[in-house]
A and B are shown apart, each in its own frame.
Chain A
Amino acid sequence: EIVLTQSPTTMAASPGEKVTITCRASSSVSYMYWYQQKSGASPKPWIYETSKLASGVPDRFSGSGSGTSYSFTISSMETEDAATYYCHQWSSTPPTFGSGTKLEIK
């Protein structure tokens, strides 16, 4: 199975700060998906097909990458962005997730 390694595991950002999360795949994948999960809630699709924003996601979020290296960026951190973000691939079965990045507000 494809292992997704996310970094950092945890981080804190101040309002207005730029945030970047990386996700490295053990083998090449066609697309990366990203999910947001807040405490006690179900994950929500956030970015699909590497760079497309899900409905309702603010445009301060973006995704990029190819092959085995992908990234997730918030251009300007806001309080409401505090959550855990997971990368996810389904280029091969079983689909797998990264271990998550817990993003806190400073």
Chain B
Amino acid sequence: QVQLQQSGAELVKPGSSVKISCKASGYTFTSYDMHWIKQQPGNGLEWIGWIYPGNGNTKYNQKFNGKATLTADKSSSTAYMQLSSLTSEDSAVYFCARSGYYSSYIVPFAYWGQGTLVTVSS
């Protein structure tokens, strides 16, 4: 079965960077896009971007250009997201998610990681 296992919570200082991971299992990692989604309390869900591990292609929500960098390591089936120049506005839970098929219909975010809480505080 598809599983997305994310790294643990992070407490980081303003102005620093953080790199969180999402280890995939139960499917061919290089055959599916991996998305990253931000959730702030009371602010709903925001799509950050996606990476296609098969060739490393990425696409970002313009809002997160320069903030997020997505990479993937095929050898370990792990996707990464680095967030830079952190401010309090970056404090949130970050999810990785993958598309899937239900009865041959594509569902954009069919599988989700458990989320990684990033807290930016001095």
A95→B47 contact, CB < 8 A: yes
Contact of A8 with B by CB under 8 A: no
Q: Which B residues fall within an 8 A CB radius of A?
A: 43-47, 59, 61-63, 95, 102-103, 105, 107-110, 112-115
Instruction: Count residues of A near B (Cβ-Cβ below 8 Å).
Output: 22
Residue pairs across A and B with CB atoms within 8 Å: the count is: 50
- Helix, strand, loop or mixed for chain B's interface? strand
Give chain A residues whose Cβ lies under 8 Å from the Cβ of B108.
33, 88, 90, 95
Check if B59 sits within 8 Å of A93, measured CB to CB.
yes
**Restricting to A50-106, which residues have a CB under 8 Å from any CB of B?**
52, 54-55, 86, 88, 90, 93-100
Closest 5 CB pairs of A and B: A42-B112, A97-B45, A94-B61, A99-B44, A48-B107
Question: For chain A, what secondary structure do more than half of its interface residues adopt (helix, strand, loop), or is it mixed?
Answer: loop
* Residues B109 and A52 in contact, CB atoms below 8 Å apart: no
Kindly identify which residue among B44, B62, B105, B112 contacts A94, using a CB–CB cutoff of 8 Å.
B62
Q: Smallest Cβ distance from B33 to chain A, in angstroms?
A: 12
Q: A33-B108, A43-B45 are in contact. Are A48 and B102 (CB under 8 A)?
A: yes
